Structure 1
Amino acid sequence: MSEPKKSLEEYPEVLSADHIKEFLGIGRDQSYNLLKSGKFHVVQVGRRVFVDKEIFKKWLQGA
């Protein structure tokens, strides 16, 4: 039995590619491609990429 999906509010303030993958139900490559698409400001630390949850939320809402 699969776990119920978490709401965006339950995620940390800074989202990783894995958080976005889990939330959107997409693959890891797709989440990295989304983060690197230039659609929002991201921070890269080594090979990991992060986005502020509020920026992601605004993008998700079409703002």
Structure 2
Amino acid sequence: MYKNYDNYPDILNVSDIQEILGIGRKQTYELVHSGKFHVINIGKRIKVSKNVLINWIEGGSQL
């Protein structure tokens, strides 16, 4: 089933990214630590702007 980005919060956590991309937990953590897009670390929590992720998915500018 296809996901609508509007159903997700503006700031995503790892489980949101995992669900959007349909990948496993380990792959998701590898992706967020890869430096391919801007990630916010708050303590042990990892947050990503929905707009940043969508831009990356659509092949937009990278860091």
Fold similarity call, TM over 0.5: yes
Q: Which 4+ stretches in 1 moved above 2 angstroms? A: none
Tell me how far apart the structure 1 counterparts of residues 37 and 15 of structure 2 sit (CA, whole Å): 17
- Whichever residue aligns with residue 40 of structure 1, its letter is F
Residue of structure 1 in register with 2:56 after alignment? 59
1:3-62 deviations in whole A, cap 9, x for unaligned? Answer: x44311210000111001111111111111111110111111122211100011100000
Q: How many residues align?
A: 60
Q: CA RMSD in A?
A: 1.1
Tell me how far apart the structure 1 counterparts of residues 2 and 45 of structure 2 sit (CA, whole Å): 23
| Unaligned runs of at least 5 residues, structure 2 | none
